[in-house]
Structure 1
Amino acid sequence: MKKKRILAALTAALGIGALWGARAQNDPIKVGVIMPFSGVYAQLGEEGYKGFTLYLDSIGNRVAGRPIQLIREDEEADASVALRKANKLIGSDKVDILAGIVLTPSAYALSDVVEKAKVPLIVFNAAGNDLTRSRKNPYVFRVSGNAWQYNNPFGRYVADKVSKNTFLVAADYAFGKESLADFKASYTNAGGKIAGEVYTPLGSTDFSPYLARIAAAKPQAVYAVLSGSDAVLFMKQFAQFGLNKSIKLAVFGDMTDEKFIDAVGDSVVGAISALPWAQDLPGAQNKVFTDAYKKKYPGELPGVFAQRGWDTARVIVEALKKTNGNTANKSALLAALRSVNFPSPRGTFRFDPVTQNVINPMYVREVVKTPQGLINKRVATLGTFKDPGK
């Protein structure tokens, strides 16, 4: 009798498990996407979302037989807003995965939340070093890269190839300060001298006071770390002051995104930057990405934010292929995310399994004018870098 009861219980459990599995396979995988769609970084969010949805469109918005449902929220370039939206997506919408985030303070604010909720966060942009150092946890993965990767290798290149006397400019928040510190470390070690250093408020309406200081310092080059509307205004005013005629513009790669330089115009031709991606990289996957973008958005060129969005979506899809669409087994999902490895528009995409920060190739790019418009053309390869920080 006891054996019969046990057998009946096991049969019932298996039946319920099978029923749950069948329902789960038909249920959508919910992905909450938090990016800024208003404010100073709105264009970053819109481009990131274009790239994200473009990749999902290319696979029919399904993985392992399950549909993918996106729930989009506006980060508004405000960490408190991002935190509120994340809590809503986790608590009310019951998302399986979170993706996006542009601002470093937003990523820092969400780190503990996603670990407690056991919801993986795939960071699309925020590059503050500590996110995958002192603040790292098993639920945070970063697709973009960190401040050290973007700035330290480029610092030596600028000192060796561009200028031994450079003025530094950055937005006045954690990522801007980290970026200049990482740039300065390698730049000064290579013999470069700092002509001056200023930090500007997010959403600046006039860079004239800072440009006057640059003009007075008479540097050979300016290294700037700005983005969004700040980047566009700075580069426009840099030319209006006539500084582009005598000072080389060497900048953080996001500043010369194709969407930004198109708004600035020909005065930015010749500016150099460093990023893990360039428009003219020869790989087959870069052609797939750029062709898909230009087909969906005729007359437009993709930029780095669309490319990051594309890779962010693919990271999620590749991990879900490994779990056969199962998001309930958290340890299996995290293991799948750590092990993703695929050909990306930037080259081979893979995470450092220790930090869960992407291992990035870094290219020096120069803004050139083409019949299709202004683009960033690769002029040098710096190497492949993982974050050496602790």
Structure 2
Amino acid sequence: MNVKRKWLMILGFVFVLTVLAACGNSAIQSGSNSDSSQTDSSAEQQGDSESNKTVKIGSILPFSGVYASLGKDLSDGMKLYFDSIDWQVGDTKIELIEEDTEADPQVALRRVRKLMDQDNIDILTGAVSTAVAYAIRDEVDSNKLPYLASHAGGNDLTRAQRSDYIWRSSFSSWQIGHSMGEWAYENVGGKMYIAAADYAFGREVSAAFIEAYTAAGGEVVGEVYPPLGNNDYASYLTTIGGVEADGVYGFFAGSDAVRFVQQYEQYGLKGKLPLVGSGWLVAEDLRESIGNAAEGAFASTFWDYSLDTEENVAFVKAYEEAYDRRPTIESLEGYDAARILAEALTTLEGDVSNPDAIVDAISKVSFVSPRGPIEFDKDTHHIIQNMYITETILAGEKTDNTVLETIETVQDPGE
């Protein structure tokens, strides 16, 4: 091989190496650009994810069984408020996951576990039955799951069974019964007979009424507790009719209220002894079934359709436009619970990573609701609210309620 040919081969080899090196650098640079592009894309996706955070709210309500209508009204009230804010606070989206408790404590417990373990909820709300609320209490507490009870009214939920993670936006048995006691003494008379359904809530409400009524100077001249779901009150009403009294305090709800109030008139007590009780005795969704027998009844409640305030008028209008029916007290409870949670999430800027911060934010929520001004008692975790004394009147061919008196800022005493 001559020298000239050797040099040509060396030069060719160097050229190939140079080209390969250039291609390698290009490939490396291309790979570097590709990785950088993927990183930027991932960052953009993460940014999009952060700007579209989703908070999961679990709701346990009865959608079947005896309390199904209450569950539906609570659900519709919640959805009405979330609709009004487009299911979003700031850059955080709200997802509502509902489960049917069937008003059964053991079913409810399974549903709550499902919401926590499978759906990974951040906050829990709901429960109509006090027995359901008590059944899930330990599960909520041990898992530090923030829970806003939106209906169940048993006293112990914010007393003996109080938990750092449970707050209640509805009412307590004590608030319902106690608020009527002094008013009944001053406006009905000094002797009262008690008739209430024989279950925990009926007993608690009656005890609270008796506490306030006797403290005001009244005397309870007799008590009777018919079983829950009773059809015939004849024997009880006959007994009441033979007692010297100024009035009767009755706690009944649902179909029991319909039958008791109707039979109260049928047995001649309506014109003889004024009937006083809780708002459920002559509730918005019952009076049509009760008919004119409800006329003249007095009741204590924390909300009524007839409240003539800017907030309530707007709420009623929005609810009727959305659902083509009147709202009930449960509709209002759902609406307020949704707003409380939304306002807490606004304070947190959607950050639900710390359950203690969530309940702290809930505790600080206050606003003027369709029911009036509301806030939380930070010791009992219970709502502070107005109570109203109503009278059922005949309005044309139907009955309606009218507010007679407002008892302001009623605060459950706790233990």
TM-score by length of 1: 0.89
Contact 1:165 1:195 in 2 (8 A): yes
Amino acid corresponding to residue 249 of structure 1 in structure 2: L
Task: Report Cα offsets for 1:37-77 as digits up to 9, x if no partner.
Answer: 23332222222222121111111122223332222222323
Q: Is residue 106 of structure 1 aligned with residue 132 of structure 2?
A: yes
* Partner in structure 1 of residue 32 of structure 2: none
Give me the whole-angstrom Cα distance separating, in 1, the residues matched to 2:127 and 2:340: 15
1:280 paired to 2:280: no
Q: Which amino acid aligns with 2:134?
A: Y
CA distance in 1, matches of 2:230, 2:119: 35
Q: Pairwise mapping of residues 1-390 of structure 1 onto structure 2 (< 5 A)?
A: 23=49, 25-217=51-243, 219-298=245-324, 300-370=325-395, 373-390=398-415
Q: Distance in 1 between matches of 2:257 and 2:67?
A: 10
Verify the 8 A CA contact 1:97 1:120 in the aligned structure 2.
yes
- Checking the alignment, whether the CA contact within 8 Å between 1:40 and 1:230 is kept in structure 2 is no
Counterpart-to-counterpart distance in 1, 2:235 and 2:273: 17
Q: Residues 176-197 of structure 1, C-alpha deviation per residue, up to 9 Å, x if partnerless?
A: 2211111111111222222321
The residue that corresponds to 2:35 in the other structure is none
Structure 1 pair 77–213 and aligned structure 2 pair: CA distance change class (3 A)? farther
Residues 359 and 386 in structure 1, CA contact (< 8 A), matched pair in contact too: yes
Describe the SS at the equivalent of 1:46. Answer: helix
Distance in structure 1 (CA, Å) of the matches to 2:137 and 2:95: 23
User: What is the deviation of 1:20?
Assistant: 6.4
Partner of 2:250: helix, strand, or coil? Answer: strand
The equivalent of 2:23 in structure 1 is: none
Q: Is the 8 A contact 1:349 1:359 kept in 2?
A: yes
Whole-angstrom CA distance in 1 between matches of 2:230 and 2:99: 25
Q: Per-residue deviation at 1:372?
A: 9.7
Contact 2:53-2:350 within 8 A present in 1 as well: no
Letter in 1 for 2:370: P
2: CA distance, partners of 1:143 / 1:197: 31
1:169 partner amino acid: A
Q: Distance in 2 between matches of 1:94 and 1:230?
A: 39
- The 1-side partners of 2:238 and 2:163 are apart by 44
- Measured after TM superposition, the shift of residue 18 of structure 1 is 9.5
- Alpha carbons of structure 1 residues 374 and 22: separation in structure 2 relative to 1, 3 Å: farther
Aligned identity (percent) is 39
Residues 270-307 of structure 1 deviation map (CA, whole Å, 9 limit, x = unaligned): 21111122223233211111111121233x32221111
> Is the contact made by 2:53 and 2:91 (CA closer than 8 Å) also made in structure 1?
no
State the Cα distance separating 1:16 from its structure 2 match: 9.7
The Cα offsets for residues 142-172 of structure 1, whole Å up to 9 and x where unpaired, read as: 1112122111131111111113222212222
Residues 1:368 and 1:57: Cα distance change in structure 2 (over 3 Å): farther
Once the two structures are superposed, what CA deviation does each residue of 1:8-44 show, in whole Å capped at 9, x if it has no partner? xxxxxxx999976753553532222212223332222
Letter in 2 for 1:366: E
Q: Distance in 2 between matches of 1:77 and 1:362?
A: 27
For 2:388 and 2:86, the matched residues in 1 are separated by: 32
Distance 1:363 1:21, change over 3 A: farther
CA contact (8 A) 1:105 1:174 kept: no
CA displacement at 1:209 relative to structure 2: 3.3
SS at match of 1:244: coil
Give 1:378 shift: 0.7
CA contact (8 A) 1:40 1:203 kept: no
Are the structure 2 counterparts of residues 206 and 40 from structure 1 closer, same or farther at C-alpha, using a change threshold of 3 Å? farther
Is contact 1:149–1:360 with CA below 8 Å preserved after alignment? Answer: no
SS of the residue aligned with 1:274?
A: strand
> CA 1:41–1:166 in 2, change beyond 3 Å: closer, same or farther?
farther
Residues 330 and 210 of structure 1: is their aligned pair in 2 closer, same or farther, counting only changes over 3 Å?
Answer: same
Q: In the alignment, what sits opposite 1:7?
A: none
Q: Which moved more, 1:333-342 or 1:158-167?
A: 158-167
SS across alignment from 2:242: helix
Distance 1:374 1:313, change over 3 A: farther
CA–CA distance in structure 1, aligned partners of residues 220 and 43 of structure 2: 65
Residue type of the partner of 2:387? Answer: M
Deviation at 1:361, TM superposition (A): 0.9
The 1:237–1:40 alpha-carbon spacing in structure 2 relative to 1, beyond 3 Å, is farther
Q: Deviations over 1:120-140 (max 9, x none)?
A: 111111111111112111111
State how far apart, in whole Å, the 1-side matches of 2:368 and 2:335 are: 12
- Any unmatched runs of 5+ in structure 1? 1-14
Matched pairs, number = 375
4+ residue runs of structure 1 moved beyond 4 angstroms? 15-22
Helix, strand or coil at the partner of 2:270: helix
